[in-house]
Structure 1
Amino acid sequence: MNTPLLILLSVLVPLTGAGLVSQLQRLPNLRETITLLSAVVLFIINLLLYNTFPEMTSQRLVLAEPFENLPIAFRVEAYGLLFALVASGLWIVTSIYSIGYMRAHDELNQTRFYTLFAVAIACVMAIAYSDNLFTLFLFYEALTVTTYPLVTHAGTKQAKKQGRVYLVLLMGSSVAFLLPAIVLTYLQAGRLDFVAGGLLSGVLNAQWLAPLLLLYLLGIAKAGIMPLHHWLPSAMVAPTPVSALLHAVAVVKAGVFTILKVVVYVIGPDFIAGQGAHHWLVWLPMLTILVASLIAMTKDHLKERLAYSTISQLSYIVLGALAANSYGLQGASLHIAMHAFAKITLFFAAGAILVANHKTKVSELAGLGHAMPFTFAMFTIGSLSIIGLPVFGGMWSKWYLIAGAAAFDGPTFTQWAMLATLTVSSLLNIAYLLTIPVRAFFASPGIPSVHAKEAPLPCLIGMAVPAIFCIYLFFDPHWLLNLSQPTTANGLP
């Protein structure tokens, strides 16, 4: 199996699909068929790469080397393969969902939407398979640029204003914090390769560990750590399919994925765990988890509530990474997938409610569950998975995250604070998520609507698939467990 060729195809297939789709404005059925075919082919390519893993991890694709020791290079690695499989798989269901949503909602510029969506997925594949920090940074920034027109898709004054917040915060944080962190890493190590055990382990002076790690945490604003989180609620002005995949899966997960790669392959978890100077940094994700959860409870707009829920859930992953032990890292990488399936279900449900019944606020949902039982049943499944209850896949990532907090090698007070944060936030999840289907099914509607109905069939299919996976992954999480551990020097997980 030619692994470098498959990696190249994982980027070229969505780009080719984007090129074809861009020419099919007058043929919407063919345009959407090409989109679906591109998504399916990409997922098959990633499955083929999974079948070669971990034997072919030594094979590397180098596109160019613009500077000495800074190649644009790609390689298959456990975390990247997990990210690529989840994103490409969910592109399929998002494409199906988009057909129902975009047509039912009479969205303008649908050809541009599908084109840019495919380009964004190509950037995600490049991020997932990046072999060094230089390559990852290039496509991390490209993802910001390509998703900006999707955020401002509506073209309204409000959309353009929110889009500016999105662009300025993400690119500004990269220039102010992430780029200096990468330059400092290069000056210390002379290269930016991802190295098992950490590129800077044994190279970086221990007193620079906390400042450098702080630069990375602030610079990777796609991870949504407060106070650089406002871009995510701003992005909710985008169409629901964009909110669902790009801001529940691709863009935000590109952020936490990058933090995970920095911790494991740039700085090194053992190096981090061996130093006490970084322990105060775990308070950043802890505060984000709790504050974002509390803000979510105050939001009546459904997509805004889900946005703040995402901000909170992303910091679960950051917290697991900063725990810098095997349990925390496994919980963090598992949560990338578990949260993706659950949150995309919730966003799809929110979009279905908008398309079918033009409701956007939680306060408007009383009694709507009787007219939309399928939609709110799927919303319930996604909510229970995020809460972390059996029999839903989210239980496993929270299990490992709690184990990682318990194994944290730091001050006892901080360790207990981590455990308390994870516990309290799960209770807050119940308060701001599960109350929504309860209101829909059991509260009396103020003014019953005789016209209330379910969303179009493609929207229902789009919701059902990730919801089924929320349950399936509880009973069979083994493939995710195999990919939720970092690749070691000999290529074995």
Structure 2
Amino acid sequence: MSALLPLLVIATSLAPALVTFFLREDEARVRNGLNLGGAVVKLGLVGFMLAEVGAGVLYETRFDLVPGLALVLRVDALALLFVTLSAFLWLLTTIYAIAYFEGSPDLSRFFGFFSLCVAATTGIAFAGNLVTFFVFYELLTLSTWPLVVHKGNAASLSAGRRYLAYTMPGSAALLAAIVWLESEVGPIAFAGASPLEGVDDTKLRLAFVLFVLGIGVKAALVPLHGWLPAAMAAPAPVSALLHAVAVVKAGAFGIVRVVYDVYGIARVEALGVGVPLAALAAITIVYGSARALQQSDIKRRLAFSTVSQVSYIVLGAALAGPFATIGGLVHLVHQGLMKITLFFCAGIFAERAGVHAIDELAGIGPRMPWTASAFSIGAMGMIGIPPIAGFVSKWYLGVGGLQAGQPWVVGVLVASSLLNAAYFLPLLYRMWFLPPPEALPARGPDERPLERPLGLVGPPVVTALAALAVGLVAASPLSPLAWATLIVERTYLP
């Protein structure tokens, strides 16, 4: 069973994907049932493994391809942190996407790649060595490109070309780093002591740079972030997937693995590469926030916000202190809940009320109270207003910066929070305190009230309440913060 469960969890996404590709467009009930059923089963299996791994059980599956080269699936506490977020948000995003695309064409293709993307994300989380990580990392690129270009218009195709223009060189850099290191020390697993003893420090520094270049593309580190705002040409469910569940999280997660499981904290400090990585993350945090302030389109503002917010995870990993690491890891969950809420709401504003630009939000709060309230919770969490989840992440990162002897981190967090307030509060003011324009409709294009159907409005309400709840119960032993603390205590502290 310990060898079978990781495969079963991946299969809950992979099997629906493979079947969905062959379904006719008019077989919507079968398609929806497959994807929803897979998401529910996946969440159940992950819940079971959470209890087991929390008690110290380790799941591992190995496939030997050739001597010295194996695909390894290994479920540790860090993997489950990422997979639990992915499984929970996949279910909600599937419900949202079914309602969002109701009556649209090419849905078998869309949901096939959608589920394949989640399978790849699960494989990245479960990867037990560098080779396995790379295989699923590339599968993620190949499965998300069709989602970015799904609309088939000029803007989507251009975004798809830019996405590949960034990710393909990144993949080459990542492969070069893996081949270089493994040619020196053999296969590198994400378990036990770092195997890099005896390797020349200069080689290790250069390989580290290649890792950051290769993985930093998906993590949207400056200056590798240009594909992400362009990808906003994709439909709202895709934006939610890219920003909260899959691509940028895979990049941040990969950097955590490199820092802690490939090099190790002590080696990162000895090589002097942690502080430069932290500085790059800090630059990205401030730059993304400043660029978000300049955007008039809601989704583009949210995209640059993601550029900023995901680098909190990288910052926590680079600082390498216990509190900073906990803050970075828990932000992987907190940012996902808050950001998917914001993108869900942006999609509802666009599809139900025809609102795409910030100037068009005036008075929409009283007309769409559930959606606007969910958006408000997500935005206030991003600013760092307690007790929403974002406050907890920023508090731990700030304390972690001081603990690591890097007090400038507090200044970066304060500057980012002020910029977050500057680009989110005007939206909330417009929604709740400005009168609506005469042209704002009371009903959507299908003549239903603006906040219908339930499948569209329910998911952001759930994720907004979840973002509030995980902040309120942060001290609970069942909170994401407690799990992140468990990871640090069990895996990364001497």
TM bucket (normalised to shorter chain) is over 0.9
Map of 1:377 onto structure 2: 373
1:339 matched to 2:335? The reply is yes
Q: How does 1:144-159 map to 2 (within 5 A)?
A: 144-159=141-156
Are the counterparts in 2 of residues 198 and 266 from structure 1 also a CA contact under 8 Å? yes
State the one-letter code of the partner of 2:79: G
Q: CA deviation at 1:209?
A: 4.4
Alignment correspondent of 2:446: none
Alignment-mate amino acid for residue 393 of structure 1: A
Which residue of structure 2 lines up, in the alignment, with residue 44 of structure 1?
44
Amino acid at match of 1:64: D
Rate the CA distance shift 1:42–1:361 in 2: closer, same or farther, 3 A.
Answer: same
Secondary structure, counterpart of 1:484 in structure 2: helix
What is the match of residue 449 of structure 1? 440
**One-letter identity of the residue aligned with 1:470:** A
Aligned to 1:262: 258
Q: Specify the code of the residue in structure 1 equivalent to 2:429.
A: V
Q: How many residues are treated as equivalent by the alignment? A: 482
1:315-340 CA distance string (max 9 Å, x none): 11111111011111111110100000
**1:281-318 deviations in Å (ceiling 9; x for gaps):** 32211111111111100111111110100010111111
Aligned to 2:484: 484
- Look up the match of 1:211: 206
Letter in 2 for 1:359: V
Matched, 1:35 2:26: no
Using a 3 Å threshold, how does the CA distance of structure 1 residues 188 and 368 change in structure 2: closer, same or farther?
same
1:171 is matched with which residue: 163, 168, 171? 168
Please, which moves more after superposition, 270-279 or 330-339? 270-279
| Superposed CA RMSD | 2.0
Q: Which has the higher contact order (CA 8 A, sep 6+)?
A: 1
Q: CA deviation at 1:486?
A: 7.4
Deviation, 1:277, is 5.3
1:356 aligns with: 352
Whole-angstrom CA distance in 1 between matches of 2:471 and 2:295: 30
The answer as to whether partners of 1:383 and 1:433 remain within 8 angstroms in 2 is yes
The Cα offsets for residues 220-254 of structure 1, whole Å up to 9 and x where unpaired, read as 11000011101111211111011102332211100
- Superposed displacement of residue 482, structure 1: 4.1
Secondary structure class of the residue paired with 1:75: strand
Partner Cα separation in structure 1 for residue 291 and residue 250 of structure 2: 24
CA contact (8 A) 1:124 1:250 kept: yes
Q: Match of 1:79?
A: 78
* Residues 239, 343 of structure 2: 8 Å contact kept: yes
* Identical columns (%): 35
d(CA) in 1 for partners of 2:37, 2:59: 27
Secondary structure of the structure 2 residue equivalent to 1:226: coil
Distance 1:277 1:305 in 2: 31
Query: TM-score normalized by structure 1?
Result: 0.93
Q: Partners in 1 of 2:485 and 2:316 — Cα distance?
A: 13
What does 1:85-484 correspond to in 2, within 5 Å? 85-103=84-102, 106-175=103-172, 177-200=173-196, 202-220=197-215, 221-276=217-272, 278-409=274-405, 415-451=406-442, 453-477=450-474, 478-479=477-478, 480-484=480-484
Contact map agreement 1:197 1:270 (CA 8 A) in 2 = no
Corresponding residue SS for 1:222? coil
Conserved 8 A contact 2:205-2:271: no
Asked whether the 8 Å contact 1:131–1:194 carries over to 2, the reply is yes
Structure 1 pair 62–450 and aligned structure 2 pair: CA distance change class (3 A):
closer
Q: After the TM superposition, which of the residue ranges 159-168 and 453-462 deviates more from structure 2?
A: 453-462
* TM-aligned CA distance change 1:438 to 1:3, over 3 Å: farther
Taking structure 1 as reference, are residues 8 and 316 closer, same or farther at Cα in structure 2, changes over 3 Å only? Answer: same
CA distance in 1, matches of 2:433, 2:488: 51
Distance 1:278 1:391 in 2: 30
Tell me which residue corresponds to 1:412.
none
What letter is aligned with 2:214? G
* CA distance in 1: counterparts of 2:41 and 2:273, whole angstroms: 47
SS at match of 1:444: coil
Structure 1 residues 488 and 376 mapped into 2: Cα distance closer, same or farther (>3 Å)? Answer: closer
Q: Which amino acid aligns with 1:108?
A: P
Instruction: For residues 413-466 of structure 1, give each alpha carbon's deviation from its aligned partner in whole angstroms, at most 9, with x where no partner exists.
Output: xx2332211111011111112321211111233444243532421111111111
Partner Cα separation in structure 1 for residue 365 and residue 265 of structure 2: 46
Give, in whole Å, the separation in 1 of the partners of 2:440 and 2:487.
55
Q: Is the 8 A contact 2:285 2:308 kept in 1?
A: yes
User: Alpha-carbon deviations, 1:195-236, whole Å to 9, x = none?
Assistant: 345333x44434444433222111111000011101111211
Determine the C-alpha separation between the residues in 2 that align with 1:492 and 1:270: 10
What stretches of structure 1 of length at least 5 have no aligned partner? 410-414
> What is the letter of the counterpart of residue 152 of structure 2?
G
**8 Å CA contact retained: 1:209, 1:278:** no
Unaligned 5+ runs, structure 2:
444-449
